[in-house]
Chains A and B, each alone.
Chain A
Amino acid sequence: MSEDEAAARLHGVQGVSVDAAEANAAQAVAHAAAASVAAAADRLLTLDETPWSFDTLRALAAAKGTEDRK
């Protein structure tokens, strides 16, 4: 995708106007982080283990902490 296409796409999808250089810089940053997240998801994401697990982890930690201090 050219820089101009990246800016046009951002405007088309999000309604935000940026110049070509800004769009290109943003895409480069996003591409690198997204690739790293995708690679981790390929390795680690499972159907049953992951949904809502952070909230559950936090609740378990809070409950355990309360129990430990009794």
Chain B
Amino acid sequence: MSTPHALHALGVVEAAEAVSSGAVSAEALALTALERLELIGPRFNAVVALDAERALEAARAVDLARARGDALGPLAGVPLAHKDLFYRAGRPCAGGSLIRRDFVPDVTASVLERLDAAGALDLGRLHLAEFALSPTGFNAHDGHGRNPWSLDHCSGGSSSGSGAAVAARLVSAALGSDTGGSIRHPAAMCGITGLKPTHGLVPMFGAMPLSPSLDTLGPLARSARDIARLMSVIAGPDPRDASTVSAPVRDYEAALNGDLGGRTIAVPLGYYRDAATPEILALLDESLRVLREAGARIVETRAPDMATLNAMMQLVMGVEAATLHRRWLKERPQDYGAQVRARILPGFSYPATRYAEALMLRAKLAQDWMAHAMAGADMVHIPTLAVPVPTIAETTQGDPADVAAAIGRVTHCTRAINYVGLPALSLPCGFTGSGLPAAFQLVGRPFGEDVLLQAGEAYQRITDHHLRIPPAC
């Protein structure tokens, strides 16, 4: 059996094909990834704990299955690791918190079960913000997630370890969760691809909740093609998560034909682009040029009243997070970081009628957002992050008002998308003057992930931003 020179360079689809063809063993992939997670992972504070024994056992099982001539799953031998909020029975899951440091679930998340069944390897648990409540990767207990492109810069959060580990080629892909941008922030800041699916497409069972009305689970990977492979495995109805009852099952890879002829992409003027710095705007415009080159028609629209949507999202998340955390805030208040407490506490002060209004208006406002921003197009093109990646110091030190403003700029383009429940694919589109990645997101119709992935993959056929590897990796 010949072994590729750099096993860590293999993405999801490449790794699965290499294992299936016998070009490489699953065990070799697992050993390579485990070594890199152990040696390189700590530089970015990306790893919580490895699960080497179980992962190697799973890898050997894949290799044995191949040797027997058994049919292999679509993710056979692919090395993955995930943000530490996915439950696996018998394995600790701390959720980035002090409070759950010793929590050992007795169930396994539906998404992990699906990945296991597809042959994927789960190498361990990755860093995240405390209780998934920071868009920058801040964690008062575990330290800040660090960006593989620059250790002084934010990794993005809350799926900080997932973003850093994929960007640094420690694993082929990772799962994250997204309540206000927690998949898209680290994807954008670390220069990789991330998909926040339609609310209710990927089952939440066995994942630590933050705000069930807004929570979604999805992949961070190197390319849209890799994400399509992962989505074909993890998406679809689950009787243990009622919100997925109507979720359609699709073959997302089948849509990847590189041709955007007949597709229309809307670019809403106003709220999103007005917040973008000149260098980010230039990178956004270049990405539109590429999408046009791939066959898409670009049309200008206008963003609706975003202040209202942002308030709705803030209120729903605040109330639901406060509800879930009330007992611990009563009994163990000292075990919460100050930044997390400050984000949860407003949730106790909203009248019940405001919460009900925010939920009851959700469909109307989602339709309104689509009517204005999308206006009949297939998808919307907006920045993921309208400003350059902030430094850790900018988001943790100095005048509290400045810190709050810096954090607010991170979620400017992402948070309302969770309230309207739409899918959003973040794609890297170049680098700013500081050498950090920039990204845009394509926002689609409900369950329009196949269209977004088609566009993302077409874009990545022409560009190579997603193939860039941080110099120290």
Contact = CB atoms under 8 A, between A and B. Distances in A.
Contact of A30 (B245, B349, B364, B445): B349
B364 A36 contact: no
A10 B358 contact: no
Contacts of B341: 18, 22
B248 A66 contact: yes
Chain A contact-residue range equals 35 or more
A33 B315 contact: yes
B363 A15 contact: no
B291 to A, nearest CB: 22
A30 B200 contact: no
B263 interface: no
Given A17-B333, A54-B366, A37 B358 contact: yes
Interface of B is mostly: helix
A45 B359 CA distance: 11
A27 B349 CA distance: 6
Contact of A50 (B326, B347, B361): B361
Interface string A25-55: 1110111111011111100110001110110
Contacts, number: 131
Nearest to A63: B246
B363 A33 contact: no
B346 A26 contact: yes
Contacts of A49: 364
Contacts of A40: 308, 311-312, 357, 361, 365
Given A30-B346, A58-B198, A14 B326 contact: yes
Nearest to B449: A65
A10 B349 contact: yes
B354 A15 contact: no
Contacts of B470: none
A62 to B, nearest CB: 4
Interface of B: 198-200, 245-248, 250, 307-308, 311-312, 314-315, 318, 322, 326, 329-330, 333, 341-342, 345-351, 354, 357-367, 421, 445-448
Given A41-B361, A53-B362, 4 more contacts: A16-B345, A37-B308, A37-B315, A53-B364
14 contacts: A17-B333, A18-B333, A22-B345, A27-B349, A33-B346, A34-B350, A36-B311, A37-B354, A40-B311, A54-B359, A57-B446, A58-B421, A61-B445, A61-B447
